[in-house]
Copies of this chain bind each other. A is one copy, B any other.
Amino acid sequence: MTKEQANRTQQEASENPDLMIENQVCFSLYSAANAIIRAYRPMLKSLDLTYPQYLVMIVLWQYDGINVKALGNKLHLDSGTLTPLLKRLESKQLLSRVRGEKDERVREIYLTEQGQKLKAQAEKVPNQMLCKSKLPIDELLTLKTGCDKIYENLEEGE
- List residues of A whose CB falls within 8 A of some B CB: 1-4, 7, 10-12, 14-16, 18-21, 24-40, 51, 55, 58-59, 61-65, 74-76, 119, 122-123, 126-127, 129-130, 132-135, 137, 139-144, 146-151, 153-155, 157
Contacts and interface: CB of A to CB of B under 8 A. Distances in A.
B132 A11 contact: no
Given A29-B147, A58-B20, A62-B11, A35 B122 contact: no
A132 B148 contact: no
Most buried by B among A14, A20, A64, A143: A143
A140 B75 contact: no
The 6 closest A-B pairs by CB, nearest first: A33-B33, A143-B146, A28-B147, A18-B126, A32-B147, A134-B153
A75 B21 contact: yes
Judged by DSSP, the binding face of A is helix
A24 B10 CA distance: 39
A15 B58 CA distance: 11
A75 B26 CA distance: 12
B75 A18 contact: no
Nearest to A145: B28
Given A35-B76, A146-B146, A59 B21 contact: yes
Nearest to A33: B33
A106 to B, nearest CB: 13
B12 A27 contact: no
A51 B135 CA distance: 28
Nearest to A128: B1
